[in-house]
Structure 1
Amino acid sequence: MAPSNRDKYSVLLPTYNERENLPIIVWLLVRSFKQSGYDYEVIIIDDGSPDGTLEVAQELERIYGSDKIVLRPRPRKLGLGTAYVHGMKHATGNYIIIMDADLSHHPKFIPEFIEKQKEKSYDIISGTRYVGSGGVYGWDFRRKLISRTANFIAQFLLRPGASDLTGSFRLYKKSVLQKLVDSCVSKGYVFQMEMLVRANQLGFTLGEVPITFVDRVYGESKLGGSEIVQYVKGLLYLFATT
């Protein structure tokens, strides 16, 4: 399907200590959009990274242009959910793509997201690791087991109508994302899970595209014991309130 002249895709990239990864993910994004012909912008929301991520972002803005690389930094870490809210305020596209900046999500899947969305005018397209050719590369057995178990429990308790509830590579109609953000209360990693639960509640349509998730090459994972505790608390909260 040929690109529509009216459609524009705003990619939200929250960053914290992603100096090594940011130039690569931006280059891959620019290449993917140029090849597919879709209009786009990349909005970088850096939360006060001490490693110089913002300086790298400023150089990328100079290289690719301020119309394509939009910097909307914040002074400190304020949570993933609020980063998306902040980025969305500045988005000029009618579609929003959210993804990680650490190269775990490859931009090559974005054209597939867009084509899938256009098939039935889906409100949301979610990348899934658990259907078809989807999968995970670079995780040991223990981490795969934790991920599968977390997803299984979430499926059992919440019945969200999505196969990968904890993933964070998605495409939204901007108007739909705004309604979901307004209805969500979570601010951290649970935010992603709550978004799909609320979407199912509100009757929004969901399509899925199998993706390969790749463990980060540079930097340290942001997922630790506190995030796991947060996930369990969030899961119980959603079970009790949805």
Structure 2
Amino acid sequence: MPQTPVGTGNKYSVIIPTYNERKNLPVIIWLLVRVFEENSLDFEIIIVDDASPDGTQDIARELAGVYGEDRIILKPRAGKLGLGTAYVHGMNFCTGNFAIIMDADFSHHPKFIPEFIKLQALHSLDIVTGTRYSSHPTPSSPPSSSSSRQLTGSAYPGLGPGGVYGWDLKRKLVSRGANFLADTVLRPGVTDLTGSFRLYKLPVLRELMAANKSKGYVFQMEMIVRARALGYKIGEVPITFVDRIFGESKLGADEIVGYAKGVWALFVAV
């Protein structure tokens, strides 16, 4: 009998916060739609735009006309209100039982989404996060039956070592240093705390967002630390992270200082 595709029976709600992503949005949406359709997965893509002045919302509306308003859902906001609140806003419109959060700038390639879904299904995980700093999926228990071999494929085909491309040495040192600091102080058991390419069970995401107090660069770290404290099961999939093609990075000195303060606050509070 033919194998049922992994993820069948679930619906995946992708939340994409945007600001000045007019050039990136058409291609990332095309890639997402192709990945979901090729893997026979039910999906919707929720675009949370913070009043982009470059016409991002116009592009989103055109894409909804191409792919369907049930697939591409624009939910704009009045201005730049922060990444965490963008996810909260997007969650209000999710109709799936899983949520995927990712960036629109090609730093997160949709081709890794099926691997997130496979790992989640194999281990019944609450969260799967992409890692730039490991070459092996975790949890990494070997397949124990023919059915699980079908699920995982042959040693996760197509997954190479995680890595970062397009960053200068300073940016790499900042990212590595941020993860090293958090790992040393908080011991979360995750190799990439600052990554923002993740799959959540939707109820888990709702609970974590309600408890989360951080904004900016520290936001993603707090999500994982709180998830560990609450006993949720977390897995990692190696990804290749490519610096944005169009637009500018939003990381600044204030974010770095805020991150260090956030690590200490979590150490004290969680």
Q: Distance in 1 between matches of 2:62 and 2:27?
A: 13
Question: How far does the alpha carbon of each residue in 1:29-60 deviate from its partner, in whole angstroms, 9 at most, with x for none?
Answer: 01111111110000000001111111111111
Does 2:76 align with 1:76?
Answer: no
Match for residue 197 of structure 1 among 225, 231, 236:
225
TM-score by length of 2: 0.87
The correspondence for 2:51, drawn from 48, 57, 62, is 48
Measure the CA separation in 2 of the matches of 1:110 and 1:142: 29
Which of 165, 176, 187 is residue 159 of structure 1 equivalent to? 187
Q: Distance in 2 between matches of 1:25 and 1:224?
A: 25
Matched position secondary structure for 1:193: helix
Alpha-carbon displacement from aligned partner over 1:185-234 (angstroms, at most 9, x marks no partner) = 11322111100000000000011100000000101111112221221221
1:186 aligned residue (189, 197, 214)? 214
Q: 1:77 to 1:122 in 2, by over 3 A?
A: same
Tell me the distance in 1 between the aligned counterparts of 2:28 and 2:7: 25
Counterpart-to-counterpart distance in 2, 1:134 and 1:178: 28
| Residue 145 (structure 1) aligned to one of 173, 176, 189 | 173
Q: What are the within-5 Å matches in structure 2 for residues 170-181 of structure 1?
A: 170-181=198-209
The aligned counterpart of 1:10 is 13
Q: 1:118 aligns with which of 102, 107, 121?
A: 121
Q: Which runs of 5+ in 1 are unaligned?
A: none
Is 2:25 aligned against 1:22? yes
Q: Secondary structure at the match of 2:108?
A: coil
Q: What does the per-residue CA deviation read over 1:51-82, in whole Å, with 9 as the maximum and x for residues that have no partner?
A: 11111111111111101001111010111001
The aligned residue for residue 259 of structure 2 is 231
Give 3-state SS (helix, strand or coil) of 1:189's partner: helix
Q: 2:196, 2:204 → 1: CA distance?
A: 16
- The amino acid across from 1:204 in the alignment is Y
- Residue of 39, 61, 66 corresponding to 2:64: 61
Could you tell me which amino acid in structure 2 is paired with residue 200 of structure 1?
R
SS at match of 1:164: coil
Gap runs ≥5 in structure 2 = 136-160
How far the C-alpha of 1:236 sits from its partner, in A, is 1.8
- Residues of 1 paired with 2:22 and 2:255: CA distance? 23
Secondary structure at 2:248's aligned position in 1? coil
1:33 is aligned to 36
- Provide the rounded CA distance (Å) in 2 between the counterparts of 1:232 and 1:71: 34
Whole-angstrom CA distance in 1 between matches of 2:41 and 2:217: 29
Question: Greater CA radius of gyration, 1 or 2?
Answer: 2
- After TM superposition, the runs of 4+ consecutive aligned structure 1 residues lying more than 2 A away are 3-6
Give the Cα separation in 1 of the matches to 2:95 and 2:47: 14
Of residues 183, 189, 211, the one that matches 2:239 is 211
Whether contact under 8 Å (2:5, 2:39) holds in the other structure is no
2: CA distance between counterparts of 1:4 and 1:208?
18
1:94 aligns with 2:122: no
Letter in 2 for 1:36: N
Cα distance, 1:142 vs. partner? 2.0
Change (3 A) 1:33 1:49: same
Q: Is the 8 A contact 2:15 2:102 kept in 1?
A: yes
Aligned residues: 242
CA distance in 2, matches of 1:227, 1:24: 29
Deviation at 1:5, TM superposition (A): 4.3
